[in-house]
Amino acid sequence: MAEEKKKGLGRGLSALLGDQAASAIAAVTSAAQAGPEGAAAIKGLRSMAVGHLQPGKFQPRRTFDEERIADLVESVREKGILQPLLVRPLPGQPGKFEIIAGERRWRAAQGAKLHEVPVIVRDLS
């Protein structure tokens, strides 16, 4: 029998992005729960212009439910973006970054007409 190929979807973030990205997101989540003091301690956390970001080429989602994005836009308008996006610098494109995690939040930020979003920059390959 042929061995089944393991798929990344449904196996958690580390299956898609590796342990480094998953641990970065876990650190953000725990720091965000600690309040402003915790968020200030996150290495690489900063605000970035929405236009400097582009969707990740390894994004498993190819279609986005417009109704759910609209709900997220409303939430972002009311509460802001609660969890930063995880991004990495794009090689050969200074000032441009690829979204590793958080494309739905980025799309919602665009819909809410935000100029900047919170991001964590990591050098991931």
Distances (CA, A) of 60 to 34, 51, 70, 103: 30, 22, 20, 11
With vertex at residue 107, the alpha carbon angle to CA 52 and CA 28, rounded to the nearest 5 degrees, is 75
pTM above 0.85, yes or no: no
Query: What was the pLDDT predicted at 44?
Result: 73
pLDDT tens string 75-98: 999 999 889 999 999 988 899 999
**Catalytic (active site) residue 4:** no
Choosing from 4, 37, 78, 103, the catalytic residue is: 103
Mean pLDDT, rounded, for 98-108: 91
Query: What was the pLDDT predicted at 65?
Result: 78
Assign 2 a pLDDT band (cuts: 50, 70, 90). low
pLDDT tens string 53-82: 998 887 666 777 788 888 889 999 999 988
Of 3.90.1530.10, 3.40.50.620, 2.40.160.210, 1.10.3720.10, which CATH number belongs to 15-121?
Answer: 3.90.1530.10
Domain regions of the chain by residue span? 15-121
pLDDT tens string 107-120: 999 999 999 999 99
Nearest residue to 82 (alpha-carbon basis) of 2, 9, 19, 28 = 28
